Amino acid sequence: MKERETRLISIENRFSPITEQYRNIRTSIQFASSAGNPLKLVLVTSTEQEEGKTTLASNLAVVMAETNKKVLLIDGDLRRATAGKFFSLVSSQNKGLSTLLSNARSSPEEAIQSTQVKSLDFLPAGPIPPNPSELLNSSRLDEIFMQLEEQYDFIIVDSPPLLVVTDAQIFSSKVDGVILVVRENRTKRNNLMKCKTLLERSQARLIGFVYNGAKSMSAGNYKYYKY
């Protein structure tokens, strides 16, 4: 892993135009949230690998935490856990979401780590389980989410791609809203349509698309589109 990849722009440079774009996305989410339809638990996903999900989820968590909200980032990619690298934490340490799911008597506090960002905590994915989808597709996940929602103001779940495994679809039915990352020159239109259908099937609330431009992220090219 190159050192460059482990740095997060919203931590490194709070005043860069890119960080400002993450704040715009934050504002859009806050506007989409209402008393009747609060957006407290939000899933970040996309059609395939390498479209920028983990990057967005992590930066969004950081700028959300700037508003003095208590924020939790969950690494929901139980197969390719990478979110922890940005917070100098190891995603596949002993405890994480997978161990909470497989042990009904465990409590989230056992696995949650604090980060270098004030008011941002991180729940790692935990060791890779043999059956991620089955583990997620359980009432135990609802229970964990309920406990976490009592402790945090805003929770972001990073996830695997929607079209590769069913994990993200399972998450989508349990969260308040879903953000789809679309990467320029990479995301295929028909795959995006497939995602829409999957999300409708799981009665998920698609709150918007985040367009991740082809130019390097340091050039800054994030846009938010309301669905």
Ligand X SMILES: Nc1ncnc2c1ncn2[C@@H]1O[C@H](COP(=O)(O)OP(=O)(O)O)[C@@H](O)[C@H]1O
- Candidates 45, 46, 47, 54; binder of Mg ion (CB under 5 A) is 54
User: Is the CB of residue 76 less than 8 Å from the CB of residue 156?
Assistant: no
Minimum Å gap between C-beta 162 and Mg ion is 12
Supply 96's token pair: 């994480």
Minimum Å gap between C-beta 99 and ligand X is 22
Distance (Å, rounded) from C-alpha 82 to C-alpha 179? 19
Residue closest to 32 by CA, chosen among 151, 158, 176, 171: 176
Which C-beta is closer to ligand X: that of 60 or that of 204?
60
Residue 212 interacts with ligand X (CB under 6 A): yes or no: yes
User: Is the CB of residue 152 less than 8 Å from the CB of residue 38?
Assistant: no
Residue 217 interacts with ligand X (CB under 6 A): yes or no: yes
SS3 of residue 83 by DSSP = helix
Residue closest to 113 by CA, chosen among 158, 147, 144, 83: 83
Residue 216 interacts with ligand X (CB under 6 A): yes or no: yes
Which C-beta is closer to ligand X: that of 89 or that of 143?
89
Contacts (CB under 6 A) with ligand X, residues 38-77:
46, 49-55
Minimum Å gap between C-beta 22 and ligand X is 13
String of DSSP letters for 119-179: TEEEE---SPPS-HHHHHSSHHHHHHHHHHHHH-SEEEEE---TTT-SHHHHHHTTSSEEE
Question: Interacting stretch for ligand X, rule CB under 6 A, among 26-34, 104-112, 126-134, 211-219?
Answer: 211-219
Minimum Å gap between C-beta 188 and ligand X is 14
Q: Which residue has the tokens 């009747």?
A: 36
Contacts (CB under 6 A) with ligand X, residues 73-132:
82
Contacts (CB under 6 A) with ligand X, residues 143-162:
none
Q: List interacting residues with ligand X (CB under 6 A).
A: 5, 46, 49-55, 82, 212-213, 216-217
